[in-house]
Amino acid sequence: MTLVLLLGAQFALAGQVFAANTVVTPSALDGWTPANVRTDGSVAIDSEQPRDGLGSLKFTTDTVTNGQDKADYEKIWGPIAGRTLGNLSALSFEFYRDSSSTTAVHFAPALRVLYLTPSGDSGLLIWEPIYNG
């Protein structure tokens, strides 16, 4: 019961100009880190299924104990002047499921964007393929 997912994310902010893409590798994580990793889950950047030859983010689960097959990978930015949800024009990711996976097909990675307002309020936007298709 192993599910292997490769995740790539691309962010675009309207009206903002960014330098070249940042390449994240096991030795240069650029602030990305595993989070909420439970006993039967793992997540890491590796070169097993390299997207465009650069490597990819790999999630692996093996359900031994129900509810312990979870892992997240996250990056938290500090405040950046001018960055708002209104500036966000595109956000996407792609994933690959190993053909040997025995996990139900409706299980897929979720994309979550947590935001904080200048006054300290927060919210969470969640996209899950099973609900948002």
pLDDT in tens, 2-59: 333 334 343 444 444 443 466 777 778 888 888 889 999 899 888 888 777 777 888 8
What residues have CB less than 8 Å from 20, skipping those under 6 apart?
none
pLDDT score, position 31:
83
Pull the structure tokens for residue 15: 């009206």
Kindly tell me if the per-residue pLDDT of 96 is higher than 50. yes
* Domain count along the chain: 1
Distances from the Cα of 112 to the Cαs of 19, 115, 127, 129, in angstroms?
24, 10, 6, 12
* pTM (predicted TM-score): 0.66
User: Whole domain around residue 111: which residue ranges?
Assistant: 2-132
